[in-house]
A and B are shown apart, each in its own frame.
Chain A
Amino acid sequence: MIVAALLVLLAATVALMAAPDRFRGRSAAGLGAAASALTFVLLALAWDGKASTSGEVDVAWIDVLNARFHLGLDGVSWPLALLTAFLTVLCCWWLARSGAGPAPSARFVALLLVVEGSSIGVFASLDLLLFFVFFELALIPMWFVIAYWGDPKDQAGRRRAATRFLLFTVTGSAVLLVGIVVVAIEAGSLQIADVQGTHSVLAASLIAIGLAVKVPIVPLHTWLPDAHGKAPTVGSVLLAGVFLKLGTYGLIRLDVQMLPSATAEIAPYLAAAGVVGIIWAGLVCLVQDDLKRLVAYSSIGHMGFVVLALATMTEAGVTGAVFGSVAHGLVTGLLFFLAGGLKDVHGTASLTALGRGLYERTRWFAVALLVAGLATMGLPGLAGFWGEYLSLRGAYEEGALDRSLAWTLLGVATIGIVLATAYVARFVRMLLQGEPTPIDTDRDLRARGVVVALVVPILVLGLWPTLLTDLLGSGVMGTSLLGVGR
């Protein structure tokens, strides 16, 4: 099933690349949406319970290195793979419907499908080398997406942002690769299940640092606001909704689950870095003028909660990390659709340039932004809350941290929730409320279906969290990987 899903994407990509003239505008986006929807269905069907590895494929690949083409999904990776396919469907839908910004071209859609396919590959890989290959494969198309289809008004800026993104992440990948090599040498295998339990603090640290660039963990985050500021709308959505998840997923899978004893030794540093990120990002958000940069920084804050959660290495914490990742994909995806949509319509995402009184001028944009804002500040009853709650719960249980540190981090992290409330209230006050100042380019939201398609799962997961938490629990991957350190 997983292979079939990947082949669907490959076939669609090849078709789009081979005959770019056949697929112009909406038909390219339509093909992309159809292929991604089919992928979503195939991945959904692949699930056969949390007790076993779903859709497992294991064939010889590179014998010399002992690397195998080994794919499979479990409760941690399956929701993230589904999220990836779902967001790509919405991206293609948006391209076909939004009616603003650059017209969708076949090559652009093909690049999105490559990003999607390689990300699903990362989530499904059970072989370290295969993981790394997919991980790298996702990077290159994103460079093209930002550099060629980014901010149409600032060609030099988007190139610079794209290159910066590439250099940062490639450097991170290099460190990650060294970490993987160290593990492979120590354990004599590349299969995640075989390697599990190796004690190598060096490897755990290298993997954590390499992935920290991707998550991103403060202070390795400076590529992110630039990349989001210049990326096209759907590029931002995939960057936030999918790319950052490669990092958090890698931390869960390769560090917390694969190298638990070694990760427990670096967990305090990870947790502290996560909490620093929450506060740092919350503060910076309070003074941002560019809405896309603001959302980018808010992402860093959410990722801080995820990192705190997984660093506790408790059942609640790791569940919270997965929940936070999925919820962030939906909530920040929605925010980037809206912020990017505003930028596509008006040519700028600056709060001062956009003016005030959006409630009056473009009602749908305003209401959707309000809902997304409430979700991003972690309102209970919406999806964003549960990741934060479980993160705090994990910290309260201490897990791999000692009590004084864990409780201090818990207290500091809650301040991040107040900061999030303040920055949401600030942009509502500056942009949505106020004496309306209409401008010529005012035009209301077109692709309302995309917004509804995101709000519904945000509400459903917010009111019915067990839908996702029931996939997890102890016993993922056949061993009691979760709950280490208790």
Chain B
Amino acid sequence: MIRRWPYVALTAVVAVAVAIWAIPELDQRAFFGYVPTNATPTMLPSLSLDTRVLPDSAKVMLLAAGVTLLVQVYSTAYMGKDRRYRSYALLIVLFLVAMIAVVATDNLFVLLIGWEVMGVCSYLLIGHWWEQPQSRAGAMKALVVTRFGDLGLLVAIVVIGQTYGTYSITGAWVGAADQGQQHGTAIGLLVLLAVVGKSAQVPLQTWLPDAMPGPTPITALIHAATMVAAGVYVFARLLPLYGNDTTVMTALAVVSGVTMLLAALFALVQHDLKRALAWSTVSQLAYMFAAIAAGAADVGISHLVSHGAYKALLFLGCGVVMHAVGTSALSAMGGLRTTLPATFWTMTIGFAALAGIIPTVGFFTKDRVLESIHVATHGETPLPGGVAWALLVVAYVTVFVTAAYAMRLWMLTFLGLPSKQHVEPPSMTWPLVALGVACLALSIGEPLDLDTAALSTLVALAGIAFAWWRQDADLPGPVQRPLAAELGLDHPITRLIPAGTIGVARVADAADREGIDVYPRGGAVLAGLVSSAVRALQTGRVQVYASVIAVGAFVVVLVGVIAR
């Protein structure tokens, strides 16, 4: 039997340390008067342990530590019989440390190290059940796609280092404040590439749904609450380096607008609870990016924290359901309201938060996102007014779709007739209760804008009514089929690019074995020819040698005479 509690205790120690560190920073004010500690800028890499915890950083750190702790507790039951529990639990701790490094550090290299270590933890944990083909495929896809995006961050650090002569984030902020944002477009677009990869936005969105074969607690932690949201955080963190750039902000708005609606529509047509929640994550991350594009990074971070709580709740609840039913297919569910009561009540809060129903925290933070986009339509931010209006319309449509799919998933999972008895292990339900309470408690003191609240509630109720009207029926065929096929957007990433690369690689390999060796082989043939020619001269007959010498002497004399 594997001892499981030591890993929970280890995580708890880290979480408490984070809390002691982060809570006092919640009230701190951000300021730009900071003087970088390394006065002589270096072009060579320098790692430093300097940290810089702003209020938003503290919130994200507390979210990460809290969800990680709950997931460790939950895993003692969910993964209790797993033979590889030790590597699983240790990777979670490593992940938490990397996440804290990303959030708290002031050094771009430490940021990059944490960023990539999180990616590797995600890769290893998606592939935790590596006997299954879909786990192996999902893990490899996640690693390669996110590493492709990470190139953006790598090159962005090269450019920042060269532009501002420092690898300190605060130092670069100061530089940008003093001399204006240099190379803002380049840096911004490069960072955008990185966060599009990590946060699974269009066009690099497909790795996240394919990461679902990983253990469900991992999905809740890494692929919903923290790592994928770290993209939002990092983009906000580096915003002072490119926040005034219209190109970057427009690109971000387009990416987020397209992603939020598409992913929500994909979620609406899924027949698998876990995959639907994965698409929902993609869609909600796009909301956060939309807030940043509208110039309200703190609103984006608020939605990040709120989403972290309710989406972790939903995934952990999904885990309880899968634990009971044995599958994540919606067709196998229904009627779980009475057999899994604690899961039902907590997940109801989670779905309400996702749909944006008052008084859950999801309602408040989503409304603030909508409100900030509305403010951006006044044209006072770098985002062009027209783009902001388009984004606002898309965001409201997405509110409708989100409410519809949340309602649909809730009905299909919990309503209907109960099938048989199930059990809810207490170490799995307590984390759900804690997160459910958080989803309500976090809304205390949130500001409320009445116009936005009224409109968004109307739209959400319309979505719920729509879902009630459709019940478990699919959408009409011409709409349902392409959406269920996810518009074939995955095709290039799963088929065309790998197949093309492997094809080119085979040609290169064949050329390497056969083609490039032409010159050494040619050299060998040439040497052979020369040696046989020389051998032909060496007949061994004195008469021939004498004749050659005579002719040669004659030619030499002749040349000598003519040359004079």
Q: Which residue of A lies closest to B157 (CB)?
A: A389
The B interface is mostly helix, strand or loop, or mixed, namely helix
Q: Whole-angstrom distance between the alpha carbons of A59 and B317 in the complex?
A: 79
Are A434 and B130 in touch, CB under 8 angstroms?
yes
Are B136 and A434 in touch, CB under 8 angstroms?
yes
Contact A286 to B501, CB < 8 A, known contacts A390-B44, A393-B43, A421-B147: yes
Q: Whole-angstrom distance between the alpha carbons of A418 and B120 in the complex?
A: 14
Contact A396 to B147, CB < 8 A, known contacts A287-B509, A433-B130: no
Stretch at the interface among A24-32, A194-202, A233-241, A458-466: A458-466
Are B151 and A414 in touch, CB under 8 angstroms?
yes
Are B46 and A466 in touch, CB under 8 angstroms?
yes
- Tell whether B17 is near chain A: CB-to-CB under 8 Å: no
- Tell whether B446 is near chain A: CB-to-CB under 8 Å: no
- B166 vs chain A, min Cβ distance (A): 14
For chain B, residues 264 to 311, give those with C-beta under 8 angstroms from any C-beta of chain A: none
Q: Which residue of A lies closest to B127 (CB)?
A: A433
For chain A, residues 423 to 476, give those with C-beta under 8 angstroms from any C-beta of chain B: 425-426, 428-429, 432-435, 463-466, 469, 473
Q: Which residue of A lies closest to B46 (CB)?
A: A466
Q: Which residue of A lies closest to B116 (CB)?
A: A380
User: Which residues does chain B contribute within 8 Å of A469, judged by CB atoms?
Assistant: 44-45
Are B44 and A167 in touch, CB under 8 angstroms?
no
Are B131 and A435 in touch, CB under 8 angstroms?
yes
- Tell whether B209 is near chain A: CB-to-CB under 8 Å: no
- B265 vs chain A, min Cβ distance (A): 30
Q: Whole-angstrom distance between the alpha carbons of A286 and B500 in the complex?
A: 12
Are B120 and A379 in touch, CB under 8 angstroms?
yes
Are B158 and A393 in touch, CB under 8 angstroms?
yes
Are A284 and B512 in touch, CB under 8 angstroms?
yes
Q: Which residue of A lies closest to B140 (CB)?
A: A425
* A264-287 to B contact mask, C-beta < 8 Å, 1/0: 000000000000000010011011
Are B506 and A287 in touch, CB under 8 angstroms?
yes
Q: Whole-angstrom distance between the alpha carbons of A284 and B502 in the complex?
A: 9
- Tell whether B504 is near chain A: CB-to-CB under 8 Å: yes
For chain B, residues 136 to 153, give those with C-beta under 8 angstroms from any C-beta of chain A: 136, 139-140, 143-144, 147-148, 151
Are A433 and B136 in touch, CB under 8 angstroms?
yes
The A interface is mostly helix, strand or loop, or mixed, namely helix
- Tell whether B77 is near chain A: CB-to-CB under 8 Å: no
- A425 vs chain B, min Cβ distance (A): 4
Cross-chain contact of B161 among A222, A393, A414, A422 (Cβ < 8 A):
A393
Q: Which residue of B lies closest to A289 (CB)?
A: B509
User: Which residues does chain B contribute within 8 Å of A381, judged by CB atoms?
Assistant: 113, 116-117
Are A392 and B154 in touch, CB under 8 angstroms?
yes
A: number of interface residues (CB 8 Å):
50
For chain B, residues 495 to 510, give those with C-beta under 8 angstroms from any C-beta of chain A: 501-502, 504-506, 508-509
- B530 vs chain A, min Cβ distance (A): 15
User: Which residues does chain B contribute within 8 Å of A429, judged by CB atoms?
Assistant: 136, 139-140
Question: What is the interface residue range for chain B against chain A?
Answer: 35 or more
For chain B, residues 28 to 45, give those with C-beta under 8 angstroms from any C-beta of chain A: 43-45
Q: Whole-angstrom distance between the alpha carbons of A167 and B521 in the complex?
A: 12
Q: Whole-angstrom distance between the alpha carbons of A286 and B147 in the complex?
A: 16
User: Which residues does chain A contribute within 8 Å of B123, judged by CB atoms?
Assistant: 425
User: Which residues does chain A contribute within 8 Å of B47, judged by CB atoms?
Assistant: 463-466
- Tell whether A126 is near chain B: CB-to-CB under 8 Å: no
Q: Whole-angstrom distance between the alpha carbons of A144 and B123 in the complex?
A: 43
- Tell whether A397 is near chain B: CB-to-CB under 8 Å: yes
User: Which residues does chain B contribute within 8 Å of A421, judged by CB atoms?
Assistant: 143-144, 147
- Tell whether B517 is near chain A: CB-to-CB under 8 Å: yes
Contact A425 to B143, CB < 8 A, known contacts A393-B161, A414-B155, A469-B45: yes
Q: Whole-angstrom distance between the alpha carbons of A426 and B151 in the complex?
A: 20
- B505 vs chain A, min Cβ distance (A): 4
Are A418 and B140 in touch, CB under 8 angstroms?
no
- A445 vs chain B, min Cβ distance (A): 17
- Tell whether A116 is near chain B: CB-to-CB under 8 Å: no
Q: Whole-angstrom distance between the alpha carbons of A393 and B109 in the complex?
A: 13
- Tell whether B159 is near chain A: CB-to-CB under 8 Å: yes
- Tell whether B13 is near chain A: CB-to-CB under 8 Å: no
- Tell whether A255 is near chain B: CB-to-CB under 8 Å: no
- Tell whether A315 is near chain B: CB-to-CB under 8 Å: yes
Q: Which residue of B lies closest to A388 (CB)?
A: B154
Are A410 and B155 in touch, CB under 8 angstroms?
yes
Q: Whole-angstrom distance between the alpha carbons of A429 and B143 in the complex?
A: 12
The interface centre, meaning the residue of B113, B502, B512, B520 with most chain A CB atoms within 10 A of its CB, is B512
Contact A284 to B508, CB < 8 A, known contacts A389-B154, A465-B45: yes
User: Which residues does chain B contribute within 8 Å of A418, judged by CB atoms?
Assistant: 144, 147-148, 151
10 sampled A-B residue pairs with Cβ under 8 A: A167-B520, A225-B512, A280-B512, A283-B504, A357-B130, A380-B109, A389-B45, A414-B151, A425-B140, A466-B44
Q: Rank and list the top 9 A-B pairs by shortest CB-CB distance, nearest first.
A: A433-B130, A381-B113, A283-B505, A286-B505, A421-B147, A425-B140, A380-B113, A283-B508, A414-B151
Query: B: which residues have CB within 8 A of A?
Result: 43-47, 109, 112-113, 115-117, 120, 123, 127, 130-131, 136, 139-140, 143-144, 147-148, 151, 154-155, 157-159, 161-162, 501-502, 504-506, 508-509, 512, 516-517, 520
